[in-house]
């Protein structure tokens, strides 16, 4: 049963297409209607959008459960598998989406730290930050699709699963015990290369990434900020994509949970940018989560006949992240 895909691409390609169309429509509405004019995103607006994105993810998960239940109940191949129960499979699929979504949301906090540093370094005004993040997220979606497709192929090999698991464990340990190093976008080799071969305009020119003066095309600081954000997301994806494959081996669930987490990242940034440094113990919670999902890959799944209970995974991850946040708030208050 563990080797059978519940959502094979050949049967669910239309689902992928429709979901992608939905994402494109949402992004078009976001930039073309709700954020057509450049403006500073205040806390209230960010809070409203954060609620909207989370609500959309939960609504999708609710519909996904009923859709899965209907498909599983009519799939003759799955029904012929001894012991297969459509209700249980649909419930587990929905829980895997929710768990993957929470893991991605939690790991995305690291992205927010980077956004704060990048916008400060390149002196990007608050009213133009949403535009940079919008195109940054489009790039992030493209790279995540590539990584997920590669992961779906590699995860079929046991040795690759073990390598991913060991990598996540060491990454988690590094987060727990390694001192934090300040991020300096100016020292990034790609940024240095761009400055060497691409004419850079010293000033912000509205929302433009490029401006033309005479016959010369100049890149603006907005473009440099966008490039660095894309680079940072590729680095973060190396951790986050294997982490979700530790939760589920279904590429469709990995893809949809990743996308919903990324779509809400801009709103989460504007909501938490001013207070993200207050969550001093959250990084330790993220380190523990990565160690846990790594252990799932290399040991716990085999210990439970190929699949560690998804309900336990969800509860453990919520507990670890919740405790790390509470510790940050409690100890901060006590110190003050």
Q: Of 74, 62, 81, 115, which is closest to residue 256 (Cα–Cα)? A: 62
Q: What is the pLDDT of residue 333?
A: 53
SS3 state at 218: strand
Question: Do residues 171 and 68 lie in contact, with contact meaning Cβ atoms separated by under 8 Å?
Answer: no
Q: Copy the structure tokens of residue 148.
A: 């997920």
pLDDT band at residue 332 under the 50/70/90 scheme = low
Read off the pLDDT of residues 291-317 as tens digits, 9 standing for 90 and up.
Answer: 999 999 898 888 887 788 899 999 999
Long-range contacts of 232-236 (CB under 8 A, 24+ apart): 232/111, 232/114, 232/118, 233/111, 233/136, 233/139, 233/140, 233/143, 234/143, 236/107, 236/108, 236/110, 236/111
What is the rounded average pLDDT for all residues in the chain? Answer: 87
**pLDDT class of 2 with cuts at 50, 70, 90:** low
Give the number of other CB atoms < 10 A from CB of residue 302: 14
CA 178 vs. chain centroid, Å, equals: 23
Q: Quick one: angle between helices 221-247 and 189-197, nearest 10?
A: 150
End-to-end CA distance of the chain: 54
Cα gap 68→84, rounded to integer Å = 13
**pLDDT-derived band at 214, boundaries 50, 70, 90:** confident
Extents of the domains making up the chain: 39-335
Mean pLDDT for the stretch of residues 276-285: 83
List all residues 6 or more positions away from 37 whose beta carbon is below 8 Å from its beta carbon.
Answer: none
Q: What tens digit of pLDDT does each residue of 46-98 get?
A: 899 999 999 999 999 999 999 999 999 999 989 988 889 999 999 999 999 99
Burial (Cβ within 10 Å: 0-12, 13-18, ≥19) of residue 241: buried
- pLDDT above 90 (res 252): yes
d(CA 214, CA 267): 38
Alpha helices in the chain (DSSP H): 9-29, 43-74, 76-79, 86-107, 109-121, 126-154, 158-177, 189-197, 221-247, 251-263, 265-272, 282-295, 301-303, 310-335
Q: Which residues have CB under 8 Å from 209's CB, separation 6+? A: 135, 219, 220, 222, 223, 226
Amino acid 121: pLDDT: 87
CB 252 within 8 A of CB 7: yes
pLDDT of residue 3: 64
pLDDT at 20: 92
- Please tell me the predicted confidence (pLDDT) of residue 157: 87
Question: What pLDDT does 312 receive?
Answer: 92
Whether the pLDDT of residue 184 is over 80: the answer is no
Q: What mean pLDDT do residues 104-119 have?
A: 84
What is the tens place of the pLDDT at every residue in 115-150? 888 888 888 888 898 889 888 888 988 998 999 999
The residue among 313, 291, 298 whose CA lies nearest residue 247 is 313
> Pick the residue with more confidence: 24 or 36?
24
Q: Phi first, then psi: give them for residue 47, nearest 5 degrees.
A: -65, -45
Using the predicted structure, report yes or no on whether residue 29 has a pLDDT greater than 70: yes
Report, as an integer, the average pLDDT of 175-180.
Answer: 82
Closest CA to 270 of 116, 162, 159, 161: 116
Pair of tokens at residue 322? 């919740």
Task: Let me know: does 207 contact 222? Beta carbons within 8 Å.
Answer: yes
Kindly report the pTM of this predicted structure.
Answer: 0.88
């Amino acid at each position: 049963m563990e080797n059978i895909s519940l959502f094979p691409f050949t049967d669910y390609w239309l689902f992928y297409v429709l979901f992608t169309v939905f994402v494109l429509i949402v992004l078009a509405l976001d930039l073309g209607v709700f954020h057509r004019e450049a403006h500073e995103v205040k806390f209230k607006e960010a809070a409203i959008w954060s609620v909207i994105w989370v609500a959309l993810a939960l609504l999708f998960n609710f519909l996904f459960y009923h859709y899965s239940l209907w498909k599983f109940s009519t799939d003759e191949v799955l029904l012929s598998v001894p012991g297969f129960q459509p209700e249980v499979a649909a419930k587990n699929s929905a829980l895997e989406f929710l768990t993957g979504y929470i893991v991605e949301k939690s790991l995305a906090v690291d992205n927010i730290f980077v956004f704060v540093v990048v916008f400060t370094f390149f002196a990007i005004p608050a009213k133009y930050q949403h535009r940079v993040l919008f195109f940054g997220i489009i790039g992030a979606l493209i790279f995540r699709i590539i990584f997920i497709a590669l992961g779906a192929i590699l995860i079929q090999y046991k040795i690759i699963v073990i390598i991913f698991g060991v990598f996540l464990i060491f990454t988690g340990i590094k987060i727990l015990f390694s001192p934090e190093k300040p991020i300096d976008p100016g020292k990034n080799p790609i940024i240095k290369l761009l400055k060497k071969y691409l004419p850079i305009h010293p000033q912000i020119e509205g929302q433009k990434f490029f401006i033309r003066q005479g016959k010369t095309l100049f890149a603006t600081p907005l473009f440099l900020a966008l490039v660095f954000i894309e680079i940072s997301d590729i680095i973060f994806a190396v951790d986050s994509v294997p982490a979700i494959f530790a939760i589920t081996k279904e590429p469709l669930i990995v893809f949809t949970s990743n996308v919903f987490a990324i779509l809400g990242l801009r709103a989460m940034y504007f909501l938490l940018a001013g207070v993200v440094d207050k969550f001093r113990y959250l990084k330790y919670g993220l380190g523990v989560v990565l160690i846990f999902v790594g252990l799932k890959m290399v040991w716990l799944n085999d210990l439970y006949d190929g699949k560690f209970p998804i309900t336990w995974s969800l509860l453990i991850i919520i507990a670890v992240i919740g405790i790390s946040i509470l510790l940050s708030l409690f100890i901060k208050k006590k110190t003050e």
